């Protein structure tokens, strides 16, 4: 494999990694919005523990999302 080909592949993987990061950020923003909306609409049903169990994450992450720290 030539060095030019290797560099071209490295560039492509770098671009794909950047695209994946941008997509992940959009998913996190949507997740956070859904969590905040559910909590606002029904805070009794959607406690931190209930949200964490439903989403599959920690209560600490839910708290950070609700309090606007992420």
Q: Domain boundaries in the chain?
A: 3-66
Q: What pLDDT, on the 0 to 100 scale, is given for residue 45? A: 98
- CA angle in degrees (0–180, nearest 5) for 17-19-24: 95
Q: Which tens digit of pLDDT belongs to each residue from 4-62?
A: 999 999 999 999 999 999 999 999 999 999 999 999 999 999 999 999 999 999 999 99
Q: What pLDDT, on the 0 to 100 scale, is given for residue 1? A: 64
Q: Distance between CA atoms of 44 and 2, rounded to whole angstroms? A: 62
- How many alpha carbons lie under 13 Å from residue 43 in its C-beta half-sphere? 3
């Amino acid at each position: 494999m030539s060095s030019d080909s290797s560099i071209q592949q490295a560039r492509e993987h770098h671009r794909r990694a950047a695209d994946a990061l941008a997509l992940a950020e959009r998913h996190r923003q949507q997740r956070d919005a859904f969590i905040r909306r559910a909590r606002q609409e029904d805070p009794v049903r959607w406690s931190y523990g209930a949200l964490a169990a439903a989403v599959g994450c920690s209560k600490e992450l839910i708290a950070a999302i609700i309090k606007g720290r992420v």
